[in-house]
Amino acid sequence: MAGLLLAACAPGATPSQSPQIQPTTGAGASAAAAFPVTLIDDEGTAVTIKAQPQRIASLSPANTETVFALGAGDRLVGGSDYDDYPAEAAALPDLVTFNGVVMEQLVAAAPDLVLAAGNGFNPPADIARIRELGIPVVVLYPEDVPGVLRDIELIGQAVGKGEAAEAMTSAMGERIDAISAATAAVPQPRTFYELGAEPELYGPSDDSFVADMVTLAGGEPITTGSTTAASLSLERLVTEDPEVIVLGDANYGTTAAQVAARPGWNVMTAVKSGAIRPVDDKIVTRPGPRLADGLAALTLAIHPDFVLPSEAP
Amino acid sequence: MSAGAVTEGRSAVRLGRLDTLRHRPLLVGLGALVALAMAIVAGVAFGNIAVPIGDTIGILAQHLGWPVATSWPASAETIVFDLRLPRVMTAAVVGAGLAVAGTTFQGLLRNPLADPYVLGTASGAALGAAIAVLIPVSVAWLGFGLVHLLAFSGALIAVAVVWRLARTTSLSSLTALLLTGYAVGSLLAAGLSVAMYASGAQLRQIVFYLLGGFSGASWPQLVAAAPLVVVGSVLLLLRARSLNALLLGEETAANLGLNVRRERAILLCLAALVTAAAVAVSGLIGFVGLIVPHVVRLVVGPNARLVLPLSALVGAAFLTFADLVARIPGELPVGVVTAIVGAPFFLIILRRARAGYEV
């Protein structure tokens, strides 16, 4: 039954999810070098950047990582409270706390470009307020894996590192394609990526970024059953019967032993076979330059014996 | 508890305290004015970022038209003039509005637990804001987003529904209003829970709104909301006599020649308008509208002609000060500060209260 299901699902799902590397703008490299440049951000806002930004404010950990990876980290004047990679990012002034943008800090940093995160990560009211003050804001909100690559290129164009961004995304894209092509050829275990278990059980919603990642890593994602719900019932999880449980909440202290000891969980295949494995959630779900590393880590969490194509000499 | 007994008790207290109370209103008024001025000055001078006091004065003077040479970075000017000044003024206006609305609802409903949110305003505004967050349309009008507009409408619609439903029961009108307000509020709160559950990644935005605060304050928002709050509050101050009469009970008020039904409707409508405008700019900030009227009443007695204006001053000073405390460490929810600072202070005042205190 399981094999039949997998055979039916796997080949169809994987190719459609795999990112194609396509130049987003034909003249990307040359346009990036020349300022002023007008970009369309992920919310559809046209943002004009007059000159190469010298004082960049990043309002999310992913944006911070991208700016550093593109070699423009020395131009960052502020980051978010959650920045933890690379190490020097944590030392940046915190412009964002759990409660939103600290507007006085942001204005005092005198940025000439703000890289914000969409979909409510930075409160929309705060983003509107920054625009009112006349500071250009690019809002980034990648919805899928190809979107992450496009956003890295967008940041590259915004900070004047267009060529570096394209080199980076094409390397990332090749690595992601290679991993997903290789994982498509092996059996796809039903995989539950646990985002959290307190107070409810949180998992990826349908068509979400995490669900995409699980598919690319060679798993059949168990989702919440809707595109909006973030939680799912234990009944649903037991019915779906995961063959692998990946602990995205391992960074927050959840262990395989705890999961196995949860009441009612011992009926699941993954618990019986001990296929409960931790993963570094920050590289898997953070839409930044380490995404290919995240996919590799997730692939090894789902298929522990897998030999990653990029690691093979 | 008959209306007569309450009236007798209150007038006895009032007569007994008349002498000691004579100069208190003036002192409280002056004290509150000084406190408000200090809170405004401190609110503009201090914040998360240190701006030299000389620069702050220079920036303000320049905006007032004095020829002062610019000796400060542009960021200092933005922080002082575009961030702090509208924020401080918004906090003062909202504080005054909530305190006046709270005084009105407490007197109107003759209930010490009444606050500006008592008749479903809070749940209505919250549900409106939550719906606005869920609608994927962005509207911007005078610095207001859809969240502000729907919060404002939600608060007003909730009160209107409560008022309409309460009129059709056969209960005494105050009981009917309170119970209807509670029931409608609960229903709307359930709707809010559903909206929050369905909101997914947008949940943070709804929570931000529910926490309340002034981090989004701007000149256009202040210019749009302040007139509603100020005019509504002034109209309420002018109706202090009606509120005094209603405090004596419906029968007595009617015997004094008051059109109880009409006055009550007007007071309720004005208080709801003030609350809705305050809630639209600041989200839900608890405690101010509940506690400030009591503090003022405990000090100067129950006369609404004194309590209303003094509450406005004290509320403005208190909320401005609370907002300053909230933003120095970063951005604490201001409601947390109002409760942490206000609750112990209120308990001290309450312990010193004389017997016979009534709303």
- Provide the CA B227 distance to its chain's centre, in angstroms: 14
pLDDT at A16: 37
- Is the pLDDT assigned to residue A12 strictly greater than 60? no
Query: Are the C-beta atoms of A202 and A248 separated by less than 8 Å?
Result: no
| Judgement on whether residues A284 and A212 belong to the same structural domain of the protein | yes
From the list B79, B143, B145, which residue is nearest A107 (CB)?
Answer: B79
pLDDT at B147: 85
Q: Span B300-314, mean pLDDT?
A: 94
pLDDT band at A54, cuts 50/70/90? very high
Which of A125, A160, A195 represents a domain boundary (last residue)?
Answer: A160
pLDDT band at B19, cuts 50/70/90? low
Domains of chain B in sequence order: 3-115+210-352 (1.10.3470.10)
| Judgement on whether residues A143 and A198 belong to the same structural domain of the protein | no
- Does an H or E element contain A99, and which? none
From the list A94, A119, A128, which residue is nearest B145 (CB)?
Answer: A128
Could you tell me if residue A245 is inside a domain? yes
From the list A108, A125, A205, which residue is nearest B75 (CB)?
Answer: A108
Helices (H), chain B: 3-21, 24-45, 53-63, 74-77, 85-109, 121-134, 146-167, 173-198, 203-211, 219-238, 240-247, 250-255, 260-282, 288-300, 304-327, 334-352
| Judgement on whether residues A148 and A208 belong to the same structural domain of the protein | no
Condensed to tens digits (0 to 9), the pLDDT of residues A73-88 reads 999 999 999 999 999 9
Could you tell me if residue A72 is inside a domain? yes
Q: Span B33-37, mean pLDDT?
A: 95
Which of A160, A178, A205 represents a domain boundary (last residue)?
Answer: A160
pLDDT band at A207, cuts 50/70/90? confident
B150 interface with A at CB cutoff 8 Å: no
* Contact between chains at A129 and B198 (C-beta distance less than 8 A): no
Range of the domain at A242: 186-302
Condensed to tens digits (0 to 9), the pLDDT of residues B38-63 reads 999 999 999 888 889 889 999 999 98
Give every CB contact of residue B203 below 8 A, 6+ residues apart in sequence.
A120, B196
- Provide the CA B3 distance to its chain's centre, in angstroms: 29
Q: Span A49-77, mean pLDDT?
A: 96
pLDDT at A311: 53
* Contact between chains at A123 and B208 (C-beta distance less than 8 A): yes
Could you tell me if residue A4 is inside a domain? no
| Judgement on whether residues A252 and A146 belong to the same structural domain of the protein | no
If one compares B99 and B129, the residue with the highest pLDDT of the two is: B99
Report the share of chain A in percent with pLDDT over 70. 88
What's the number of domains chain A is made of? Answer: 2
User: Choosing among A42, A60, A104, A133, which should be mutated to test the B contact, i.e. which has the most B CBs within 10 A?
Assistant: A104
Which of A126, A160, A194 represents a domain boundary (last residue)?
Answer: A160
B223 interface with A at CB cutoff 8 Å: no
How far, in Å, are B96, B249, B252, B260, B266 from residue B255 at the CA level? Answer: 32, 10, 5, 10, 19
Q: Span A67-71, mean pLDDT?
A: 96
Give every CB contact of residue A242 below 8 A, 6+ residues apart in sequence.
A189, A190, A191, A192, A222, A268, A269, A270
pLDDT band at A34, cuts 50/70/90? low
**Residues of chain B neighbouring A228 (CB-CB closer than 8 A):** 198, 200
| Judgement on whether residues A292 and A230 belong to the same structural domain of the protein | yes
Condensed to tens digits (0 to 9), the pLDDT of residues A144-185 reads 899 999 999 999 999 999 999 999 999 999 999 999 999 999
- Provide the CA A64 distance to its chain's centre, in angstroms: 13
Condensed to tens digits (0 to 9), the pLDDT of residues B146-182 reads 888 899 999 999 999 999 998 887 777 888 999 999 9
pLDDT band at B333, cuts 50/70/90? confident
| Judgement on whether residues A195 and A156 belong to the same structural domain of the protein | no
Query: Are the C-beta atoms of A23 and A157 separated by less than 8 Å?
Result: no
User: Choosing among A103, A139, A207, which should be mutated to test the B contact, i.e. which has the most B CBs within 10 A?
Assistant: A103
Which residue matches tokens 């600290």? A102
- Provide the CA B154 distance to its chain's centre, in angstroms: 17
* Contact between chains at B75 and A105 (C-beta distance less than 8 A): no
Could you tell me if residue A176 is inside a domain? no
The whole model's pTM is what? 0.80
pLDDT band at B140, cuts 50/70/90? low
Could you tell me if residue A69 is inside a domain? yes
| Judgement on whether residues A47 and A145 belong to the same structural domain of the protein | yes
For A98, nearest residue in chain B (alpha carbons): B331
Could you tell me if residue A307 is inside a domain? no
Q: With a CB-CB cutoff of 8 Å, which residues 103-132 of chain A face chain B?
A: 103-105, 107-110, 119-121, 123-126, 128-129, 132
Q: Span A56-81, mean pLDDT?
A: 96
| Judgement on whether residues A201 and A142 belong to the same structural domain of the protein | no
B74 interface with A at CB cutoff 8 Å: yes
Condensed to tens digits (0 to 9), the pLDDT of residues A239-261 reads 999 999 999 999 989 999 999 99
Of A32-46, A199-213, B251-265, B283-297, which gets the smallest average pLDDT? A32-46
Could you tell me if residue A208 is inside a domain? yes
pLDDT at B21: 59
Could you give the CA distance from residue B38 to residue B22 in angstroms, rounded to a whole number?
26
pLDDT at A310: 58
Could you give the CA distance from residue B177 to residue B159 in angstroms, rounded to a whole number?
10
Could you tell me if residue A111 is inside a domain? yes
Report the share of chain B in percent with pLDDT over 70. 91
| Judgement on whether residues A205 and A279 belong to the same structural domain of the protein | yes
CATH of the domain at A234: 3.40.50.1980
B47 interface with A at CB cutoff 8 Å: yes
Condensed to tens digits (0 to 9), the pLDDT of residues B197-216 reads 888 777 878 888 888 889 88
| Judgement on whether residues A94 and A142 belong to the same structural domain of the protein | yes
| Judgement on whether residues A255 and A191 belong to the same structural domain of the protein | yes
- DSSP per-residue letters across B75-104: HHHIIIIIIIHHHHHHHHHHHHHHHHHHHH
| Judgement on whether residues A49 and A90 belong to the same structural domain of the protein | yes
Could you give the CA distance from residue A224 to residue B196 in angstroms, rounded to a whole number?
17
Give every CB contact of residue A237 below 8 A, 6+ residues apart in sequence.
A192, A201, A203, A222, A268
pLDDT band at A95, cuts 50/70/90? very high
